[in-house]
A and B are shown apart, each in its own frame.
Chain A
Amino acid sequence: MRSALAAVLTGCVLALVGCEKKTSTPPSSAPSGGTAAAPGGTPGVTGDTILIGEVGSLTGSEATFGISTRNAIDLAIREVNAAGGVKGKKIELRVYDNQSKPEEAANAANRLINQDNVLLILGEVASSNSIAMATKAQPAKVPMISNASTNPRVTEIGDYIFRVCFIDPFQGYVMAKFAHDNIKMNKVAVLRDLGSDYSQGLADVFERKFTEMGGKIVARETYTKGSTDFRSQLTAIKRSSPEAIYIPGYYNDIGLIARQARELGITATLMGGDGWDSEKLFELGGSAIDGSYFSNHYSPDDPNPRIQKFIAAYKAAYGSVPDALAALGYDAAMVAVDAIKRAPSFDRAAIRDAIAQTKNFHGVTGSITLDEKRNATKPAVVLEVAKGKTKYVDTIAP
């Protein structure tokens, strides 16, 4: 009985693998090794289609990130194809799930490069996943564009790795400028997550820039992940009576910190970064989080017609308002398409050069220019939390 079942299962698996091979082998028998372009066709380009790949967290702990990214990239490609494609060819997208794990992200990237022979790779959101993918894409000389990984190390992997989002240090600068120029704060306390590179990076830059602008950091406190009681740090912060507190952490801690700060009678304005961007922030923070500000990649309330057009199209296709990750996914796909259009050939090296020359590209998340370190120089938005929603406040340019 058991062996019969096993035989059936094995048969199914083999059949599946067989099917997959069939669909993913380009008909023109392009080389599966990768870099060398065969005379018959360049990698990823066959007849009248251009194959590009995406790796995303479609399941696992960061599934919401992966799904909105995939939706938006898919939308972008459909729009491009509907408008006639690129250089007379339609674009085809192949997406693999990485289960929110770096090792699976590396496997998926390998598969796209060696088996599907894609022209370029899009993704990921989490920096650890993007780094895993980049270590596969760089040696194979396959261009890769990360949509939302903000850790500086991602593009340091090599000259084929790009991103369309800003990097962590920029966010620290944005909130320092906002605190000093827009809401006129002079005395700010900083509360950071000691165990997070992200939080440390933002906090360091904020402190330096804010002091340079003439502001004063009146208290420096830290917390460690896993704690749910922040009252001792907050009581210590209260002693220095700051006008604002900068807390570059993740939404699950921020909600509790906001509650406990209000409970202790702290009325200072709370400020943070894109780690705040989650529906859970409103559930955990309740009304305590109202009136706080954080920096983000884009705002759905931005009246800019380009943004509103994207939101309307996304809503029509998927029935929900796109989050910042969707907006970045859309931009990553459009930057790739733009580069394919401008490149003299479909050669991967030519595509790489074209991506590197991206300048003042008008994306949903602002005007994108890639610098010599292959990072996007572009503005950030500041959002205000109001009654379980975010409200657009300002755009701050680099």
Chain B
Amino acid sequence: MSDFAQHLINGVAAGTIYALVALGYTMVYGVLKLINFAHGDVMMVGTFLGYAVAQQLGYEHQASLWGVLLIFLAAMAGCAVLGFVIERFAYRPLRDKPRLTALITAIGISFTLSYGFQLDFGPLPGAAPRAFPEVIAPREWLIVGDRAVVIWNWQVISLGIAIFLMVMLQGLVYRTRFGRAMRAVSFDHRTAALMGIPVDRIIALTFMLGSALAAGAGILYAIKDTAIQPLMGLYVGLKAFVAAVIGGIGNVPGAVVGGLLLGLVEEFVVGYSSSSWRDAVAFGFLIIVLLVRPGGLFGSVAAEKV
């Protein structure tokens, strides 16, 4: 029973990261119908930015509250700029071209970032993994029995930050003018433009927002799993994409539920059978969900507009 509880905690912690990364996928897809495969790599860049800031501030083990905030904000701001640049120079010129073109460009950017960052040149980090500093001093918050179940402060803090970001995002999309414009662009960007909505600006802002969320997720990931290296984004990005599709791509609560579900499924598969089954089961799960609900758990199947 106690290891069931521990598996539950582990699964939620892993799922939180998937959920945050999935949010970025979902937003960009919702607005542009573009699967931004570079999203995971933007997350990687975010963790390296956070790492650089932590190094500059001299944090080996513990940062002050302001320090942690600064690390998050710097990484998120840096990635927002990166997201803007990627959108402006790689995706916008292709917006009216066939969708496949933009998809291939996205894959190109993903590889450029993940392999470019492996160069050991100037400020680039090189291929070797490094340890992200423990910016939140680890402390045990809850211990059940003889350390049968352990919950750490950073697990709770991460979950808190993730929920906070998700609630903010939901509010932004459904309660603000910007959100309404976003949804209008998502529905039909030509008609939205006719209604006087600045489509280019809305799309650029969506990209920046998604990239900033990825950076936040990246820092939380680094706090959880310590090692960061340039290829980390490919793996997490793929999983988050699956999470977004399970939840119903384009749907904000769907991404969150999909992420948590995927984290829990993986955890219990590994915990009670074997790690070699993990990816097979995770992706098998995706297929079953899509067979039963082709639009994902929360998605609705819209008829293709002709």
List A residues at the B interface (Cβ < 8 Å): 61, 194, 221-224, 226-229, 231-233, 235-236, 238-239, 252, 255-256, 259, 263-265, 280, 283-284, 286
Contacts and interface: CB of A to CB of B under 8 A. Distances in A.
Most buried by A among B147, B268, B270, B279: B270
B141 interface: no
Contact of A263 (B131, B138, B272, B279): B138
A256 B150 contact: no
Contact of B226 (A222, A226, A255): A255
Contacts of A284: 129-131, 226-227
28 contacts: A61-B127, A194-B275, A221-B274, A222-B274, A223-B275, A224-B275, A228-B225, A228-B226, A229-B14, A229-B224, A229-B225, A231-B13, A231-B14, A231-B267, A232-B270, A233-B271, A233-B275, A235-B7, A235-B10, A239-B3, A255-B226, A256-B226, A256-B227, A263-B150, A264-B6, A280-B128, A283-B131, A286-B131
Given A224-B279, A229-B14, 8 more contacts: A221-B275, A223-B275, A232-B271, A233-B270, A233-B275, A236-B270, A238-B3, A265-B143
A343 to B, nearest CB: 43
A18 B288 CA distance: 66
7 closest Cβ pairs, A-B complex: A265-B147, A232-B270, A228-B225, A231-B10, A232-B271, A232-B267, A235-B6
B41 interface: no
Contacts of B274: 221-222
A283 B228 CA distance: 12
B34 interface: no
B229 to A, nearest CB: 8
Contact of B150 (A221, A222, A223, A264): A264
Given A224-B276, A229-B14, A235-B7, A255 B227 contact: yes
A229 B155 CA distance: 14
Interface string B218-231: 00000011110001
Contacts of B3: 235-236, 238-239
B150 A280 contact: no
B165 interface: no
A69 to B, nearest CB: 19
B150 A236 contact: no
A228 B150 contact: no
Contacts of B87: none
Most buried by B among A223, A228, A233, A239: A228
Interface string B255-293: 000000000001110111011101100000000000000
A284 B129 CA distance: 8
Nearest to A266: B147
Nearest to B273: A236
B152 interface: yes
Interface range, B side: 35 or more
Contacts of B130: 283-284
A263 B149 CA distance: 10
B146 to A, nearest CB: 8
B154 to A, nearest CB: 10
A231 B7 CA distance: 8
B152 A263 contact: yes
A354 B126 CA distance: 44
Contacts of B10: 229, 231-232, 235
Contacts of A229: 10, 14, 224-225
A238 B235 CA distance: 27
Contacts of A255: 131, 226-227
B54 to A, nearest CB: 14
Nearest to B17: A229
A259 B275 contact: no
Contacts of B13: 231
Nearest to B272: A236
B113 interface: no
A227 B266 CA distance: 12
B159 to A, nearest CB: 15
B135 to A, nearest CB: 14
Contacts of A259: 226
B129 to A, nearest CB: 5
A81 B272 CA distance: 62
Contact of B271 (A235, A252, A265): A235
Contacts of B103: none
A235 B276 CA distance: 16
Nearest to A288: B226
B232 interface: yes
Contacts of B129: 252, 280, 284
A223 B276 CA distance: 7
Most buried by B among A226, A232, A256: A232
Contacts of B232: 228
B175 to A, nearest CB: 35
A189 to B, nearest CB: 14
B137 to A, nearest CB: 13
Contacts of A221: 274-275
Nearest to B118: A61
A255 B132 CA distance: 12
Interface in B1-15: 3, 6-7, 10-11, 13-14
Contacts of B276: 194, 222, 224
Nearest to A195: B276
